Structure 1
């Protein structure tokens, strides 16, 4: 979930805290993954089978699956272990995740791209290209929040536009974040582990460029064919109405520009807060009985302060023009709380390696001579990152490959590149593979635009992303 569960979390990989893992991990079986599977199936199926019930009670349903994990866990391993597990996920993973996401969501929603953008294939492709380019500078979440609303306004009059938002998730919300540690949480964890800041820039640039160029070309062809079946006059008129809906003083033909520069500065402050945690390490404190780096507590406080500043300083007309609401972030906050907690035993099984229930998967990463297989690292890291949090998944395979940054950047560079690309790229394979994916979906649907179902989106990924990743495997790994 590459938008940041562990972007501010140096130790977020530990799904089960040290005390709990010491006693519980050996007894964990695949049955403990059932609540996580329940959360995934609820997200996938209930909007289709019981849409009214889901949209009104999704928070309660997610909480129910969480209880089906924590209560049996407390019975089997004791209330102390269950409390330890809950606070470990809350302090070590969820709070850093949600405070960062909240800050980016709020500041991004306060940046208004002015001007008359009409959703032609050229304009749409350019928006996707710009978003992909800036994602490594401001993070996939930041880039997604800044550009999703301009794309919505530009295409307000289009009848055939679902594909634009699907490819937006592919590129801006995922692949675009692969060039720096600021772009995506897995790379930031690698930075904290000793991978140099510009290592991804030089070592992931070729696969990044290949995927970006191929997917943008495919998108342009698809959008050109779809645009050819549209009536052009209503498209331009609807785009202009959407652009000027809440700032009617703007003249027709207004040049492109940005309103809400204070939020651009605040996004810069968020990025600085993220980077700060990799260079300032003052030591640990205890929060709810869990050790946590002081820099992470300071960062969470900073992100909350930035959120408050954005709300206070942004004129209401900008958020109204952006169609900004709090619904999308509330949905992400509730559902990802359940996802983080219920996936903890799955990550613990992965961490158990050759001694755990997933030993068969672990064995696939090396050949008979014990040498790493970069292609398998790419696909296993990617496949698990499609449905688990890609930051701890990255770190599990990073440690499985030796865990020494200097060695991995040298003779193990191909393996580290495979792990990095798998975690970042394949977060696009499902709505829950990366937090911005789900947030973009929620924002688009809030504007009355239909998006694919959970399985429908996975179908898009199967058609366009999986063949792309197969080519990446042959060309680079």
Structure 2
């Protein structure tokens, strides 16, 4: 289907609405309501879908709606199941314990998704650090690691990778990104540990004393839901559509029935609002994206693209827009380019760059990935002041961007000088961490 540039306007308007509306005071109050988001999605998406359908390209509309249904089934099932799990308790808020929390989150993010892992761990992290005055950095690193970078290893981890699986990428292909996953998360965890030691040195003695004395052993509640999580993992890995979606819905229903009200509603303060927001917004994204993808298909051969630019473009857009449609856009674009070996019709070296950029760079702003704002909201609801949009960007540029730059230089760039520069960036990151760590706690 040949389309002109103006056919991408609804898609651009949809993405700009997501990016800008929450930041404008006069619009934010209205935008946060799911019915407003659904109205915008339908206003922009229905005309696009109708035009494509009436043009005779029915398969494009049905394919987009099928992907949307599978996408919402996955996110919805993980959201419901994780809402039945609660980690209660309050342990000492030491740099070691906080780093363990983040390390566990980095692993869980690829198993139960970044949304599930972030919602499971953010409250225990906040409870553990409630006696400390300085805890915003811990929440920020939770966004970096748990809500984004940890979800790189499976299609369950982050929505962009699930969209890749729906487009034919094998479930196990993302395992090949393990070196990059390990590199990025270890550097972030080392940086966080040293930063937390420095922050601990600024705490008053009274706060540290209360933290040491107010200890409640950790207790896992709702463990039966891990059975339902295993069911979702197996259904995504082994079942074709529509059995995959039916199995995920069944697991979510099983979780709802077997979870206690105390865990889901009292402990976790479960609400349908976050998943309704995702469902409304992504309905608009998937429908308006139909013509945008067709336009990019025609433009692909004219663009000067390589692995580095694919990472920069997909990562840059994922920083300020939602990373799932960004991934889908560049996936389709790369499928039009030559190169072997190919995975799901895309040159593998491009697919690696797109996957890394979309997932990892979603942590650069609050709006790069859905869980980012959710984590911030939970922290602020518990009285923890968080940086503004611009303040968070400063944190991500200072703490996360050097790690990603080192990863690109070492794993994506080819020239030997790039590898050497990457090694120097790593040494600089470790040197800064060592300087922070020397500021020993009282």
TM-score by length of 2: 0.77
The correspondence for 1:204, drawn from 177, 197, 206, is 177
Sort the Cα spacing of 1:402 and 1:217 in 2 relative to 1 into closer, same or farther, 3 A.
same
Pairing of 1:406-445 with structure 2 (within 5 A)? 406-407=341-342, 413-445=348-380
The correspondence for 2:253, drawn from 293, 296, 308, is 308
Structure 2 residue 1 is matched with structure 1 residue 26: no
The correspondence for 1:465, drawn from 391, 394, 400, is 400
Q: Structure 1 residue 236: deviation in Å?
A: 6.9
Q: Matches of 2:212 and 2:34 in 1, distance apart?
A: 35
Structure 2 residue 317 is matched with structure 1 residue 384: yes
Query: What SS class does the counterpart of residue 364 from structure 1 fall into?
Result: coil
The correspondence for 2:108, drawn from 128, 134, 141, is 134
Contact persistence 1:94–1:337 (CA under 8 A):
no
Where do 5+ consecutive residues of structure 1 fail to align?
Answer: 1-21, 242-251, 281-294, 366-372
Query: What SS class does the counterpart of residue 352 from structure 1 fall into?
Result: helix
Q: Structure 1 residue 129: deviation in Å?
A: 0.9
Structure 2 residue 41 is matched with structure 1 residue 69: no
Q: Structure 1 residue 131: deviation in Å?
A: 0.9
Query: What SS class does the counterpart of residue 113 from structure 1 fall into?
Result: strand
Contact persistence 2:154–2:171 (CA under 8 A):
yes
What is the count of residue pairs matched by the alignment?
408
Structure 2 residue 299 is matched with structure 1 residue 299: no
The correspondence for 1:145, drawn from 106, 116, 119, is 119
Pairing of 1:40-189 with structure 2 (within 5 A)? 40-46=19-25, 53-54=29-30, 58-66=33-41, 68-70=43-45, 77=51, 88=62, 91-189=65-163
Q: Structure 1 residue 260: deviation in Å?
A: 1.4
Sort the Cα spacing of 1:113 and 1:236 in 2 relative to 1 into closer, same or farther, 3 A.
farther
Sort the Cα spacing of 1:410 and 1:340 in 2 relative to 1 into closer, same or farther, 3 A.
closer
Q: What per-residue deviation string (whole Å, max 9, x for no partner) do you get for residues 286-309 of structure 1?
A: xxxxxxxxx23x333333333333
The aligned counterpart of 2:238 is 276
Q: Structure 1 residue 103: deviation in Å?
A: 2.1
Deviates more, 1:64-73 or 1:166-175: 64-73
TM-score by length of 1: 0.72
Query: What SS class does the counterpart of residue 204 from structure 1 fall into?
Result: helix
Q: Matches of 2:309 and 2:142 in 1, distance apart?
A: 27
Contact persistence 1:155–1:161 (CA under 8 A):
yes
Contact persistence 2:14–2:44 (CA under 8 A):
yes
Contact persistence 2:164–2:328 (CA under 8 A):
no
Pairing of 1:220-239 with structure 2 (within 5 A)? 220-231=193-204, 233-234=206-207, 237=210
Contact persistence 1:117–1:240 (CA under 8 A):
no
Where do 5+ consecutive residues of structure 2 fail to align?
Answer: 413-442
Sort the Cα spacing of 1:225 and 1:264 in 2 relative to 1 into closer, same or farther, 3 A.
same
The aligned counterpart of 2:269 is 324
The aligned counterpart of 1:289 is none
Q: What per-residue deviation string (whole Å, max 9, x for no partner) do you get for residues 359-413 of structure 1?
A: 69x6131xxxxxxx21112112222333142442353244144487x53599954
Sort the Cα spacing of 1:195 and 1:164 in 2 relative to 1 into closer, same or farther, 3 A.
same
The correspondence for 1:264, drawn from 216, 221, 226, is 226
Q: What per-residue deviation string (whole Å, max 9, x for no partner) do you get for residues 65-98 of structure 1?
A: 33552476589x4995799799758833443333
Contact persistence 1:394–1:423 (CA under 8 A):
no
Sort the Cα spacing of 1:346 and 1:187 in 2 relative to 1 into closer, same or farther, 3 A.
closer
Structure 2 residue 303 is matched with structure 1 residue 363: yes
